[in-house]
Chain A
Amino acid sequence: MKSNLSALAAGLLFGLGLMLSGMSNPGEVLSFLDWTGEWSPDLIGVLGSAVLVSLVGFQLARRKDKPWFEAEFPALPKKSIDRPLLFVFPTEVRNKGHFPSDQAATKLIWLALRNIAEKWKNPPISRHAAKAQPAIQFEERFMLSE
């Protein structure tokens, strides 16, 4: 209840801020983006002042172990730079295309596992744990001699 109300309050505040700053006006945003027309730096002013406040707020939040109305902080979005952020085609979509089914992907993992298993120097116990899983999935491929 309190969580939902605070989300609503944050939304109202956000909308009010958008309106006050003039960013609810598409023409205003465009006047920042279009450098060939009448340029206005307002968007930088809005983003700058918003970041100034959020910078202080987020740094203060680091001292808290939980939010006001929830048991804990949920997992936060990552901060690092990765491929999908910079490249046009997401890696997972590109890789998915090579496998007609999930089973095909699992088979490839199993084959790769068999290849590296020969070079493993770990104690046998971890090797068996890893091998047990494909042994269940691809029963017919395990011959007694192996």
Chain B
Amino acid sequence: VLTKLDPTSHWLAGQVAGIHLFTLAGGMTIGAAAVLLYHAIGRIAGVSGIFFTGMKEGGLWRWLFLGGIVVGAGLGAYLFPSLNIVSRPNPSIWILTVSRRLVGWGTRQGGGCTSGHGVCGLGRLAPRSLVAVLVFMAAGIFTASLLRHWLGVPA
């Protein structure tokens, strides 16, 4: 049994070892940002929800937070140019139009996105968020694999 499992465990070890240190540092920075927002003003750092409520009700802090994300990412790209790798897939306008609508609708339906459910919800130990993360990850994996491999859509 062990010999059968070996290639898999080697592959897994390789994948884990291959995780860049910056990947973990970046993740911890994201977590710290969510914790900061909660400790400072008691808000959940759910990007889709903040954007949605910001569109509906406004609120300066919401737009400062959202603008900060854009500026912060730009600042990071400026400070660490070697990390600024963008291997952008080149989807057609149809794929973009349909998918962004699905993302917007889905995050409202599910009440959160990767940041709200993933980072904050899991941190708050919310069963709702665990379900949401598992469902949208599974759906994402299924869709990406289906479109790109089996249907050969260049997305």
Contact = CB atoms under 8 A, between A and B. Distances in A.
A70 B37 CA distance: 11
B128 A81 contact: yes
Q: Is the interface of B mostly helix, strand, loop or mixed?
A: helix
A19 B83 contact: yes
A116 interface: no
A98 to B, nearest CB: 20
Contacts of A13: 29-30, 32-33, 36, 68, 72
Interface string B37-79: 1111111111101000000000011101111111111111100
Contact of A11 (B27, B41, B67, B141): B67
Given A51-B118, A51-B123, A16 B73 contact: yes
Given A14-B30, A27-B89, A67-B42, A47 B114 contact: yes
A18 B113 CA distance: 14
A15 B70 CA distance: 6
Residue of B34, B47, B89, B115 with highest tally of chain A CB at under 10 A: B34
Interface stretch (A53-61, A106-114, A119-127, A128-136): A53-61
Nearest to A52: B31
Contact of B19 (A8, A33, A39, A41): A41
Contacts of A52: 27-28, 31
Interface of A: 2-28, 30, 33-37, 39-42, 45-58, 60-61, 64, 66-70, 72-74, 76-82, 84-86, 88, 90
Interface of B: 15-16, 18-20, 22-47, 49, 60-62, 64-77, 80, 83-89, 109-112, 114-116, 118-129, 131-133, 135, 140-141, 143-145, 148-150
7 contacts: A4-B64, A7-B65, A37-B149, A41-B16, A46-B27, A58-B38, A60-B39
